[in-house]
Structure formats: C-alpha cells, structure tokens
Chain A
C-alpha cells in the first residue's frame, strides 16, 4: 500500500531541515548565525542520531562553510548548507567559485538585514546583494514552500550544474509554526533521483579544476554560465509541475499570482510579505479596487517573460521592495521589473516603495493603505 502524506506543525527552519533529510544529502557544512541556526542544529542532530546518513562538518565560519560545500560537491557529494545576512556576505568570494565551478550546491539563506548597524530581523538586502554571483535564487513565502522548493532546487541545480539559493524570511518563516505536509519518501525519491555528477575529483582521471584560463576560455566559461542561468527557467517550471504531479502541491513556478486576471492594481513583492499581501489584495477588493498580486518565486533569473505575459493591460504595478537599490531611488525589484518591461509593455506603470526594512512589521492593512496612497501619485 502506498504511504500517505503526513501533516505536522513545524517551523520554516525545521521544515528546511526535513527537506534536506528527504533529499538524502551527503555533506552539510554548517556554521551558526541567527536566524538560520535552527536549520543547522536540526541537521546536526539528524546526522548524530542516524536519521540522516551524511557528514556534518562544523566549520569555523561561513567562508569555510561554502568552501567545504564546493569542495565536497566537486568530490561528487550532494551538499547543503545554510546561512543568513553577514554570513552570506562573508561567503561572497566562494559563492562565485560554486557558480563558476558549476557545482550544484543548494543553500538556504534565511533573510536578515545586514550590518552596520546590527539588526536581527528580516529584510532582503542580504540575498539581493548576492544577485550577481551566478546563483539561481528562489524566494519563498511559506514553510511549505520552503520544504517544496529545496527539493525542486536540488533537482534543477543538478540538471544544469548551477548552485541554488533558497531564500525565506527570518522569524516570520524560520521560527513560526505552520501546518506542513510531508510527502511520502518514496514520492520524493521518485521526484529527486540520486546525484550522479558528470564529473568529480577522481584519481583515475586526473585533471585540473578551476585552474588558470586564457581570456578566450574564461570568456567562454562566463558566457556559458550566463546562458545557462537563463536556460534554468524551463527547468524550474518543469520541476514545479512534476512536483505537483507527484505530491499535489503547488507554490507557483517562476511566479505565483493571486486575483491577477482582471487586476488594475498589481502588488509585486517576494517572501513572507507577499503572503500577507494576498490579504491586502482582499481588503482592496472589498474597497472596490481591482487589486491582484504577482509574486516572483525566482529573482535570479528574473522571470521577465512570464511577468510580461501575465500582467493585465494598463495595470499599475506597486513594487514593495524590502531592500535598497543604493544609487537609485527605491529598491532592486522595481529596477529589475522596469528593465524587464522597458520596450515590451509600455502600457504598464511601475511605482515603488521600500518597506519593512530591518523587520518592520508589514500588516495587511498597512500595505493596503500604502498601495492606495501610491495610486494617488
């Protein structure tokens, strides 16, 4: 008889650890940082008690965590790590080695505002500051989506040999309990086959890896990475679709939409604030405003074509950024959106607010009020 899905109450951080366990990873280098620590604690415990047959490497910092991750991946292992905020920034150099080296590491970044000054709470400056490292980036808005996305990320990363960052908000997701559906392991194994690298460090086949290149070779490697990041979009869609076929769960593919079809005012945001924005959309609808939601799940590659396709004619898009695009007014999502629309959808108006920095609470009414105010501008 086929095993049934199990429903539990769980935090986003622990849901991430359960997904990593279900993915049967081999190596987990880890270093604590708030609010990510709970993921590493859970994985270390699973390895110690034998629930997860893997190695937990307690490294001395995030730069080393990513170094151990890329090296283990090059040796042929399925690898996961997690971080937040300054930990992610500390990894920056080695993030480039993972993507340039075409190593399919999957990492959770639990979004947190970055130093200085210190803050513990969520905004998206950390992940958006790593936009140009050659990593694919998902952003998730619920505990269930975190679980589902980690499994989809392993699949896509290993298909195209590009590392993937799965982002979700500190505390609002990482530390809050929500119902979590755990598909049977046999279904997950069907969705995510074992990692079979095309290449690994193997004394039977000595060759150099990430060695010095001449300009033409270097440029070729870089172009291939740039092209393949864009080529990940159909794979992301396929992974979401097949995950739905096997588990019945759907979080969107490159994008997620809500009441968008006839919308005249479209809220656009990522992560937990986008979950709350659904309720803002309902409030606006009750007030007679034809509102809808467009939530990019992918930020890198930016799902430009899908956004161009779904935006209703003459819509005003209210981009709520939880990050700054220093040197420009507003945030990075708005800039990305304008870049996607320019010359393609001149009917669309884009307006922008930076909100929720450093974890400032974003309740539904506040965001609904803000969107109404933006309509007047």
Chain B
C-alpha cells in the first residue's frame, strides 16, 4: 500500500522562506524527500534552481549540511563524501549512525554535463542516492534545451521546437545494474515518499528521478503544478516505475496503462495546457507534430512493457 499523504512524518527539512518560485515542483519534491530521509543526511548540489533558491552563504533553506559542487561532478562528489564517511567510521573517527549521502540535481546535471561522473558512481555501486528533479530544461538559466527536453517543446535554444526525443535516463541508470531505480512525480507524494524510504534502506547506488513540471519553462499557471504532474502520468508522458535489483514494477496510475487495462489519456490535452507546446501547435502541421509526440510516448510505453518482462 502506498503511504497516504496524511501519514507522512511531520519532519520538515525544507525550511520556510526560501527563494523558489511559487508552485516550484523541485521544492515540493524536496520537502517529501526530507520527510523520508530525516535530518541525518548530507546533501550535494550542482548549479540549479535549488541552489539559486536555497539562500545565501553561510545559511541554507534546507536543514542538512549542503555542499555546492562543480556542475559535472554529482556522482564523483557524492562518492568522495560517502567513502570518507565510511572509512572514518571504520577508523573510529565518526560517532553515531552513518548519514545518508544524496545529490539533489536537475536534469542538466544528470542527463547532460553530469552523466559521465554519475555513470561511473553507478558502475562502482557507491552507497549514495542520486535524485534528478527533472523539469525538462535548464530552467535556472532561463529555459534552454537539455537531454531531458521532449520532442516538440519550445525552449530558448529550440525556438521552433526540439526535433529530437528525450533520453530515457532512468532506464540508462537501470542498465548499470544498480540495486534501486525509481521514477516519481509531485502529484503522487506517497509514492515518492515510499520510494525514498526504500532507497534510504538499500545499500549501494540508488537513482530516483522526479518529474518536476516548471510553470516558467512549461508555461502554465503556477497554481497548476500538481495538475500538470498528474496529467503527465495519465497521458503516459511520464511513467511511474521502480526496479529493485533489476526487476521492474509499475506503480499506479501507470500500471494499468502498461498492462493494457486502461488507455492513457490522449496527449493533446496535456500538450495544449502548456505554452512550450501549444505556441507551436497553431500551424497546419499541428496534427503531425502531435502525432510525433504521441509516437514517442507510445514507443516508450511499448518498450518499457517489454523491458519489464526481463527479470533475472
């Protein structure tokens, strides 16, 4: 059973008064993550919205020690911290319980510039959690395309719409044979909470990717963050799944879509709510563009359905 939002712990690791935008999904997600991790954790941050909004030196709006690191280094930096803590513990220089070491990184720091060091940390199976809060663009620098930007989306560097589909980053992480991989999004906080608790209690490398609909980049009303997150899942544009030791299972409401028990909602409604798509869907080629985007979604659903059948 998924934990109900009513039963989440009272612990608040995201302190009030930070500089995030109204309706910021990254901050919402981090709040849920904090409830699952508790205070005994060390946070690493690459340049991103969560750094821009965390407060100024020496304070921070997150109630953990936070290490700001170079953009490309989430994987290797988190490895450095956990190895230091583990060896200091072995040598009797670290009292108390070993803290959880986690990186809180955007899609740019995960899919693009941070991919190499993250891949290496996963291959080493270092005992860390990498969170990717994925707003599908470089929102912090004013919305440029990333490897996570879906086809057809406007960004300031794809003014006529991105012509390539996004990567399936969570699947790429799964193929590193790490013990835990999960996807989540802010409309399903209990699902996210449960996944973070599982990751916290699993030794080795963990990867959790959280779809984070960004009103600024996606161009919707900032009150609609959770609704956009829900529509992404219901349309199949975002799939909720987890893999424990390589075995994939799908979570609701993705599971019935994958199993063919329920059709995904048509993507058009989801797209037309977002300025990043609908501004490009006014011409005579609109139906073709929508069909391309739908094709990418259908392909991912079909691929993940088949991939999940492989369990070793």
Query: Min CB distance, A106 to chain B, in Å?
Result: 15
Determine which residue in B65, B94, B120 has the highest number of CB atoms from chain A within 10 A of its CB, and name it: B65
A68 contact from B40, B41, B76, Cβ within 8 A:
B76
Contact between B70 and A71, CB atoms less than 8 A apart: no
Which residues of the partner chain B approach A213 to less than 8 Å between Cβ atoms?
56-57
- Asked if residues A29 and B76 are in contact (CB atoms below 8 Å), the reply is yes
Shortest distance from the beta carbon of A30 to any chain B beta carbon, whole Å: 12
Closest to A201 in B: B65
Q: Are B68 and A57 in contact (CB under 8 A)?
A: no
B52 at the interface (CB under 8 A from A): yes
Which chain B residue lies CB-closest to A29? Answer: B80
Q: Which of A26, A61, A67 contacts B77 (CB 8 A)?
A: A67
Q: Does A133 contact B (CB under 8 A)?
A: no
Q: Which residues of B contact A76 (CB under 8 A)?
A: 84, 88, 93-94
- Asked if B66 contacts A208 (CB within 8 A), the reply is yes
The answer to whether residues A208 and B73 also contact, given A53-B91, A64-B117 and a CB cut-off of 8 A, is: no
- Known A-B contacts A64-B117, A68-B80, A71-B78; the reply to A208 vs B57 at CB < 8 A is yes
Nearest CB of chain B from residue A360's CB, rounded to whole Å: 35
Q: Is the CB of B56 within 8 A of A211?
A: yes
Cα-based distance from A76 to B93 in the complex (angstroms): 9
Min CB distance A97 to B, Å, is 6
A203 on the B face (CB < 8 A)? yes
- Which one of B44, B55, B80, B93 lies within 8 Å of A72 (CB-CB)? B80
Q: Which residues of B contact A97 (CB under 8 A)?
A: 69-70
Query: Contacts A76-B93, A211-B51, A211-B54: A63 and B81 contacting too (C-beta < 8 A)?
Result: no
Query: Whole-angstrom distance between the alpha carbons of A76 and B94 in the complex?
Result: 9
Shortest A55–chain B CB gap in Å is: 4
B80→A27 contact, CB < 8 A: yes
Rounded to whole Å, the gap between the CB of A114 and the closest CB of chain B is 21
Cβ contacts under 8 Å, A211 to chain B: 51, 54-58, 60, 66, 68
Per-residue CB proximity of B150-187 to A under 8 Å, as 1/0?
00000000000000000000000000000000000000
Asked if A57 and B79 sit within 8 Å, CB to CB, the answer is yes
CB pair A203 B55 closer than 8 Å: no
Is B80's CB under 8 angstroms from A75's CB? yes
With A60-B117, A212-B57 as given contacts, are A74 and B67 in contact (CB-CB < 8 Å)?
Answer: yes
A327-368 at interface with B (beta carbon < 8 Å): none
B100 to chain A: closest CB distance in Å? 9
B81 and A74 contact, CB distance less than 8 A: yes
- In the bound complex, CA of A55 to CA of B62 (Å): 29
Tell me how far the C-beta of A54 lies from the nearest C-beta in chain B, rounded to whole angstroms. Answer: 6
Q: Which of B92-149 contact A (CB under 8 A)?
A: 93-94, 99, 116-117, 119-120, 123-124, 126
* Chain B: CB-nearest residue to A214: B56
Q: Known contacts being A64-B117, A208-B60, A213-B57, is A71 close to B68, with CB within 8 Å? A: no
A26-B88, A53-B87 as given contacts; A207 in contact with B65, CB under 8 Å: yes
A201 contacts across to B, CB distance below 8 A: 42, 65, 67, 81
Contact A72 B84 (CB under 8 A): yes
Nearest chain B CB to A368 CB, angstrom units: 47
B280 within 8 A of A: no
B68 touches A209 (CB 8 A): yes
Distance (Å) between the CB of A21 and the closest chain B CB? 14
In the docked arrangement, what's the CA distance between A67 and B68, Å?
11
A-chain residues with CB within 8 Å of residue B60 when the two chains form the complex: 206-208, 211
Closest chain B CB from A140 CB (angstroms):
27
State whether B67 touches A210 (Cβ < 8 A).
yes
Q: How far is the CA of A79 from the CA of B63 in the complex (A)?
A: 27
**B-chain residues with CB within 8 Å of residue A94 when the two chains form the complex:** 70, 73
A173 at the interface (CB under 8 A from B): no
**A residues within 8 A CB of B236?**
none
Distance of A105 from chain B, by nearest CB (Å): 10
Question: A151 on the interface (CB 8 Å rule)?
Answer: no
* Contact B124 A58, beta carbon cutoff 8 Å: yes
Interface: B64 (CB within 8 A): yes
Residues of B close to A63: CB separation below 8 A: 70, 72-73, 76, 117
Instruction: Say how far A24's CB is from chain B's closest CB, in angstroms.
Output: 9
Cβ of B73 and Cβ of A55 under 8 Å apart?
no
- The interface residues of chain A lying within 8 Å CB-to-CB of B64 are 203, 206
15 pairs, A vs B, C-beta closer than 8 Å: A27-B83, A64-B73, A70-B69, A71-B73, A71-B77, A73-B84, A75-B81, A203-B99, A207-B58, A209-B65, A211-B56, A211-B57, A211-B58, A212-B57, A212-B68
7 cross-chain pairs, A with B, having the tightest CB-CB distances, nearest first? A71-B80, A64-B76, A67-B73, A68-B80, A60-B120, A77-B84, A75-B84
Besides A68-B80, A94-B70, A203-B42, 17 more A-B contacts (Cβ < 8 Å) are A29-B76, A53-B90, A59-B76, A59-B79, A59-B117, A60-B117, A61-B117, A63-B117, A67-B80, A68-B79, A71-B73, A71-B80, A201-B81, A203-B65, A211-B55, A212-B52, A213-B57
